[in-house]
Chains A and B, each alone.
Chain A
Amino acid sequence: MAFRKDLLLISSWIKPNTKVLDLGCGNGELLKILKQEKNISGYGIDNDIDNIKLSLKNNVNVLQIDLDNGLEDFEFEYFDYVVLAQSLQVIKNPKELLNQMLRIGKEIIVSFPNMGHWSSRIQLLTSGIMPVTGNLPYSWHDTPNIHLCTIKDFLIFCEKNDFEILEKNITDNNQRCNLFTKLMPNLFGQIATFRIK
């Protein structure tokens, strides 16, 4: 299985020999590669039984927990990094979860698909229906993605909540940056990744 490109960026932000919690860890590939290449220790959390099986096969510690029920079981600053890769949009209470992540992690890394991308804007403008994109392929009524946001939304949210952005990376779906994503990230970025304190 090919390694998800967006996880390469995240793993490049994580220092060796640290403790990492990966929320919505899927098959555990991020932790697996971090374990092999950076000697990190940590846990994945997922609530899909098939992902639990895959993570176990990848020899990753994985906990079957519903993120909407919170992260109370972890103590203050238990982890160096808490990662939420492309799952922010499925969380029932994103603000509460990000606060929890910042409590148990010294830093957090959050990535999400940008609803402000021009293709979504044009879809809504021209067809008048909720955008359906490669990243977000669901119709409005059957989508698990209940909290979609744009990059601008997220920046406002961070400012309001006093989240300090340490690093950000805005790319297209292939993790490429170009002049457009640099100049007008909210219009041309497809995936946004933030490192926050």
Chain B
Amino acid sequence: MDANSIKIVKPTNVIIKNPLKLLSGKVLSEYKLKYETYGSLNSDKSNAVLICHALSGNHHVAGYYEGDDKPGWWNNMIGPGKPIDTDKLFIVCVNNLGGCHGSTGPTSINPITNKIYGSDFPMMTVSDWVESQKELMDVLKIPFWKFVVGGSLGGMQALQWSFQYPKLIHNCIAIAAAPKLTAQNIAFNEIARQAIMKDPNWHNGNYLEKGVMPNQGLSLARMLGHITYLSDESMREKFGRDLKNSKLGFNYDVEFQIESYLRYQGEKFVTGFDANTYLLMTKSLDYFDPVKDMSDNLIKNLCECKSNFLIVSFTSDWRFPPKRSKEIVKLLLDNKRNVSYSEISAEGGHDAFLMDNKDYFDVMASFIMESNNGI
């Protein structure tokens, strides 16, 4: 166990009874949110931080579960003395609605039909998530977020927070994000969805009722996704053309290390992830386009937003490359907001946002430390 890590943590559940009107027009009459918190809320409630997770992430951001030797997914960034310092800040992370790690989602029971939601679970958008997180904020009696932080899809949520509730957020950090997806991004998502929906066990999304899982499709989707998270350099460095066995077999078994790695990633993923959630998360990414959705409201809200923004990108990220982050910077500059931007040299591709990197961590710590003044 990392000596500077948060120790044992436990998630909490809350049932929200306020009906949530979704962007699609549908309504969730009540729902459960699963979340974790670290550190403590100070007396004037001015140190709360919301961490938004990415496509396959969840509320378990840092620390360890009892008996588990694997920490939360951002344990290197969050903890005592780390850039997001739990000695000073109160951290909240919630499993996105529609997820499959404890918040209400496609694997939950629909209270109206008493059956598993499956494909009946309504489509979620980034702005719906922000609304549900706002409900949690009220439950926890947090008056404003000192920081909202996220990478990738999480970064888009952080941005959406500043657009949707400009007065409730003091600092926004969006890492390896984009203001909207490109045709190429959507194309990759569509192939991932097709892989799932073409699986013979798909059953129109109601596979759980049939007692089967579209694991072939889901693992293919994950393998495809994984390629887009890595960079050409990092794949070359990690795998090159290394073979699993010493010579070629002249068949279609796993021969190259990269094949073995991708298959392993795919197989591992299906044990902990739901196919309907994967579809929903990719679709919410595709739909994300706040500039178009909010048009004049966005400009108006941004004018009210006193938040400081930090936008971070990574040189080898080709899923959401630096130029996409610069589009966010341009949007903020055009609206005369306080924004800083850093382009970190990193070989890790899109996944660099989860990896150790001194420059990246220093940039995060410098921004957070300065904004921390007064705590």
Contact = CB atoms under 8 A, between A and B. Distances in A.
Do A and B belong to a common assembly? yes
Interface of A: 41, 43, 49, 52-59, 61-65, 73-75, 78
Interface in B254-292: none
B340 A63 contact: yes
B363 A53 contact: yes
B341 A63 contact: yes
27 contacts: A41-B338, A43-B333, A43-B339, A49-B344, A49-B345, A49-B359, A53-B359, A53-B362, A56-B367, A57-B366, A57-B369, A59-B370, A59-B371, A59-B373, A61-B339, A62-B340, A62-B341, A63-B340, A63-B341, A64-B341, A64-B343, A73-B326, A73-B330, A73-B333, A74-B333, A75-B334, A78-B333
Contacts of A43: 333, 339
8 closest A-B pairs by CB? A56-B366, A63-B341, A59-B370, A53-B366, A64-B342, A57-B366, A56-B367, A73-B330
B93 interface: no
Interface in B334-375: 334, 338-345, 359, 362-363, 366-367, 369-371, 373
Interface of B: 308, 310, 326, 329-330, 333-334, 338-345, 359, 362-363, 366-367, 369-371, 373
A52 B343 CA distance: 10
Nearest to A52: B342
Nearest to A56: B366
Contacts of B329: 63, 73
A61 B340 contact: yes
B108 to A, nearest CB: 42
Chain A binding surface SS class: mixed
A63 B373 CA distance: 22
A63 B342 CA distance: 6
A75 B334 CA distance: 8
A151 B120 CA distance: 74
A195 to B, nearest CB: 24
Contacts of B369: 57
Nearest to A74: B333
A74 B362 CA distance: 27
Chain B binding surface SS class: helix
A43 B369 CA distance: 19
Given A49-B359, A73-B330, A75-B334, A57 B339 contact: no
Contacts of A56: 310, 340, 363, 366-367, 370
A173 to B, nearest CB: 31
A65 B329 CA distance: 11
B179 to A, nearest CB: 13
Given A59-B370, A74-B333, A49 B342 contact: yes
A24 to B, nearest CB: 16
A41 to B, nearest CB: 8
A188 to B, nearest CB: 40
B359 A63 contact: no
A49 B363 contact: yes
Contact of B339 (A52, A59, A63): A63
A75 B340 CA distance: 17
A58 B310 CA distance: 14
Nearest to B359: A49
A41 B330 CA distance: 17
A75 B330 CA distance: 10
Nearest to B322: A64
A55 B341 CA distance: 11
Contacts of B334: 75
B66 to A, nearest CB: 38
Contact of B370 (A57, A63, A73, A78): A57
B24 to A, nearest CB: 34
Contacts of A55: 340
Given A49-B344, A49-B345, A61 B338 contact: yes
Contacts of B339: 43, 61, 63
A65 to B, nearest CB: 7
A80 B345 CA distance: 33
A32 B359 CA distance: 22
Contacts of A62: 340-341
Nearest to B373: A59
A142 B338 CA distance: 36
**Residue with the highest number of chain B CB atoms closer than 10 Å, among A54, A56, A59, A74:** A56
Nearest to B341: A63
